[in-house]
Structure formats: structure tokens, C-alpha cells
Amino acid sequence: MPGKKRQSLNLLSGGERALTCIAFIFSLLMLKPTPFCLFDEVDSALDDANLARFTEFLKRLAEKVQFIVITHRQGTIEVADNIFGVTMAEQGLSEVYSLSPEEAEAMAG
């Protein structure tokens, strides 16, 4: 990482470790894009500044690769082209819903 001395991955904080792994995955995708990529909560350990960097790279790479991102972070959800969610209105009965960002914004007010 820029400004950091070279050290073992085990000595990095959770956010630094996550960002290092994400950067490695993004560099692989820039070299050899795949049709799609699935991320599951990779942004959970990132602070707000690094979340913004992550979403900027995600938007840039989305021109070549289709991303499916499972997340609870609002910053990541805001840059999505489509939003899918699962809710459990009744015990044992899950419901899947889909929203465009415009529909989500209208619902939020």
C-alpha cells in the first residue's frame, strides 16, 4: 500500500487486508476480464474513504465485467444499476424484490 512499509498480510488491519485483496482481484480483472464476478461482503471492512475508492473502481470495471455484489453498505448499493433484495415478511416466507436506483430513490423520498 502506498506510504506503508512492506509487511506480512497478517500484520495489516482488517480494512487494509480487504483493500489489498480487492486491489489484487481488480488488477487480475483488468488484465483478463471475465464475463461476471461475484463479490460477497468484500466491502464490509472498508472505511468510507476506501469504500468510495472501491465503488469508483467497480463502476469503471463494470464496463467490461458484470458484477454481482452482495452487500449491506449503502455506498455500494447507491452505485448499482439494479438492486435485488430478500425480505422475510412472515416467518419462513422469503420474498425477492427488484428495484432500479430511480425506484429506490423515489421510495426513500
CA 1, 11, 73: angle at the middle one, nearest 5? 65
Q: What is the pTM of this model?
A: 0.78
- Candidates 48, 31, 36, 35; CA nearest to 19 is 48
pLDDT in tens, the chain (109 residues): 567 677 777 877 888 888 888 999 999 999 999 999 999 999 999 999 889 999 999 999 999 999 999 999 989 998 999 999 888 888 989 999 898 888 888 887 6
